[in-house]
Amino acid sequence: MTQYYYAPASTGNLSVGFDLLGAAFEPVDGQLLGDVLAIHGEAVQSRLRLSGRYQHQLPADTDDNLVLRCYRLFQQRLGKPLPGLELELIKALPVGSGLGSSACSIVVACYAFNHYFGEPLSQSELLQLMAEAEGGVSGSVHYDNVAPSYLGGLQLMLPGSRQLCRALPWFDHWRVVLSYPGTTLSTKAARAAIPAQLPLATSIAFAAGLSRFVSALYSQDEADAMAALNDVVAEPVRLHLMPELPQLRSALQALGAAHLGISGAGPTVFALCPTDCAARDVAAYLTQHYHKNQDAMTHLCRLAPKGARLVKDPNSCN
Ligand SMILES: Nc1ncnc2c1ncn2[C@@H]1O[C@H](COP(=O)(O)OP(=O)(O)OP(=O)(O)O)[C@@H](O)[C@H]1O
Ligand SMILES: N[C@@H](CCO)C(=O)O
């Protein structure tokens, strides 16, 4: 019987935590915003079929698809060959979008293989495998998309600790509007814009912003958490890739958004809103002013408490 697995979209950095903070989001209307992987059965040789809204953005040769690359990596990690699989990737996240698209495929694939074969890898072994696979795409290992997509929620990376990452508190009424303009930005290219070293004043401002945000979440000081959201690391050097950001920010703040930031490496933006009403106005504005082509999409979301998991057949009506 076919098994369907799902992993949600994610926003890396969340403005104050470059490479250290990431959140999984889901539309409030109950839609799935993330990739689905179907395991239809076993075969002599693994085969991958592509479907879904953004299948046209994937490499034509499925051998280059991250799903099959992850299956090879998974077998290497186990140190033994596994049977071939009949796979289908339902690609719902645009590639190079800032929504953690490659991470989402990696997470859903690694999670599915581990579940299907009886969970031979522990949670932290699987997370490490996912981060290595993601590092192969973006040029350096970072967990801020794979961790939330795998585990759900808002995740703070803890480099050097055994736990690897920890879920942070949030505000349940916060809404996040994710808007993808339909154009592409390569994560590798956007990472090349980040300087290898930061001046001391920027390093202190970065540490201060992240600490202030995390401490405001723990003390449930909403105003302080919102005020802390200021990107001093990535936005200043990536602004030339997304020059509309300052104008969009002013317009959305006038509509009630508390913050507008770059989702991951962009070009998707995320707007944090304190109410549903403000989020609806912000979503309407972004749909009208930020969409560039037919591939564009805007979703009114909340934090996704759950990450990768088994789901029902997404094509069935019940
Ligand atoms: N299943 C897949 N999903 C996404 N990208 C894939 C997949 N398989 C192969 N790729 C390739 O991996 C690369 C992903 O590039 P990149 O890291 O810039 O995008 P991304 O992860 O979608 O970005 P972001 O994290 O900003 O959403 C592209 O070259 C793409 O063709
Ligand atoms: N932290 C990563 C996220 C990529 O989606 C970056 O900003 O490069």
Residue 260 forms part of a structural domain: yes
Looking at the structure, do residues 235 and 164 belong to the same domain, yes or no?
no
Query: Looking at residues 300-311, what average pLDDT do you find?
Result: 98
**Contacts by residues 288-295 (CB-CB < 8 Å, ≥ 24 positions apart):** 289/248, 289/251, 290/179, 290/181, 290/244, 290/248, 291/179, 291/181, 291/182, 292/181, 292/182, 292/183, 293/181, 293/182, 293/183, 294/182, 295/54, 295/57, 295/94, 295/180, 295/182
Q: How confident is the model at residue 156 (pLDDT cuts 50, 70, 90)?
A: very high
Residue 122 lies in a domain: yes
Q: Give the span between the Cα atoms of 113 and 92, in whole angstroms.
A: 20
135 confidence band (pLDDT: 50, 70, 90) = confident
Return the CATH number at 125: 3.30.230.10
Pairwise CA distance, residues 173 & 192, whole Å = 36
Q: What residue ranges line ligand 2, CB within 6 angstroms?
A: 12-13, 18-19, 98, 100, 142, 144-145, 187, 190-191, 234, 264-265
Q: Could you tell me if residue 316 is inside a domain? A: no
Provide the pLDDT for residue 314: 85
Residue 104 annotated in ligand binding: yes
> Do the domain assignments include residue 317?
no
Do both 140 and 35 map to the same domain? yes
Minimum-distance ligand 1 atom for the alpha carbon of 101: 22
Angstrom distance (rounded) from CA 35 to CA 52: 9
d(CA 71, CA 158): 27
* pLDDT score for 316: 77
Mind listing the pLDDT tens digit for each residue in 160-188? Answer: 898 899 999 999 999 999 999 999 998 88
267 and 296 share one domain: yes
Q: Is 140 annotated as a binding residue?
A: no
pLDDT in tens, 271-305: 999 999 999 999 999 999 999 999 999 999 999 99
Known binding residue 305? Answer is no
Q: Say if residue 144 is in the same domain as residue 185.
A: no
What are 152-155's contacts with CB under 8 Å, separation 24+? 152/8, 152/24, 152/304, 152/305, 152/306, 152/307, 153/23, 153/24, 153/303, 153/304, 153/305, 153/307, 154/14, 154/21, 154/22, 154/23, 154/217, 154/303, 155/21, 155/22, 155/23
pLDDT at 236 over 90: yes
Q: Tell me how far the alpha carbon of residue 201 lies from the centroid of ligand 1, in angstroms.
A: 34
Q: The domain that contains 290 carries what CATH number?
A: 3.30.70.890
Q: How far is the CA of 150 from the centre of ligand 1 (A)?
A: 17
The verdict on residue 318 lying in a domain is no
- Asked if residue 148 and residue 291 are part of one domain, the reply reads no
With bands split at pLDDT 50, 70 and 90, how would you rate the model's confidence at 16?
Answer: very high
H helices, E strands: number in the chain: 10, 12
Q: Mark whether 121 and 7 lie in a shared domain.
A: yes
Residue 317 binned pLDDT confidence (cut-offs 50, 70, 90): low
Residues sharing a CB contact under 8 Å with residue 263, sequence separation 6 or more, in sequence order: 11, 12, 13, 97, 98, 99, 178, 269, 270
Domain range for 8 is 3-168+305-311
Q: How far apart are CA 181 and CA 96, in angstroms?
A: 11
Across the chain, mean pLDDT equals 96
Q: What's the distance, Cα to Cα, between the start and end of the chain in Å? A: 18
Query: Are residues 251 and 151 part of one domain?
Result: no
pLDDT digits (tens, 9 = 90+) for 89-132: 999 999 999 999 999 999 999 999 999 999 999 999 999 999 99
pLDDT at position 138 = 66
Asked if the model's pLDDT at residue 242 lies above 60, the reply is: yes
Specify whether 187 is located in the same domain as 71.
no
Q: Which ligand is nearest to the CA of 35?
A: 1
- Say what the ipTM of the complex is: 0.96
Is the predicted pLDDT of residue 318 greater than 60, yes or no?
no
Q: Report DSSP letters for 24-77, one per residue.
A: EEEETT----EEEEEEEEEESS-EEEEESTTGGGS-SSGGGSHHHHHHHHHHHH
Nearest-ligand number for the alpha carbon of 191: 2
Please indicate, yes or no, if residue 124 is contained in any of the structural domains. Answer: yes
Angle at 37 between CA 70 and CA 188, to 5 degrees: 50
Residue 103 among known ligand-binding residues: yes
Q: Are 44 and 111 contained in the same domain?
A: yes
Residue nearest to atom 3 of ligand 2 (CA): 264
Question: Do 240 and 266 reside in the same domain of the chain?
Answer: yes
Contact of 132 with 77, CB cutoff 8 Å: no
pLDDT digits 0-9 by tens, 190-227: 999 999 999 999 999 999 999 999 999 999 999 999 99
The verdict on residue 195 lying in a domain is yes
- Please count the structural domains in the chain: 2
> Are 189 and 97 in a shared domain?
no
Ligand 1 atom 23, closest CA:
96
**Which atom of ligand 1 lies closest to the CA of 12?**
25
Which pLDDT does position 137 carry in this prediction? 72
Write phi, then psi, for 157 (nearest 5 degrees). -75, 140
pLDDT(315) > 80: no
The reply to whether 95 sits in an annotated binding site is yes
With a 6 A CB cut-off, is 95 part of the ligand 1 pocket?
yes
Q: Whose CA is nearest to atom 21 of ligand 1?
A: 102
If asked whether residues 164 and 184 sit together in one domain, one would say no
Residue 18 alpha carbon, nearest atom of ligand 2: 1
Q: Is residue 43 part of a domain?
A: yes
Q: To which H or E segment does residue 228 belong?
A: helix 222-228
Nearest atom in ligand 1 to the alpha carbon of residue 66 is 8
Residue nearest to atom 15 of ligand 1 (CA): 96
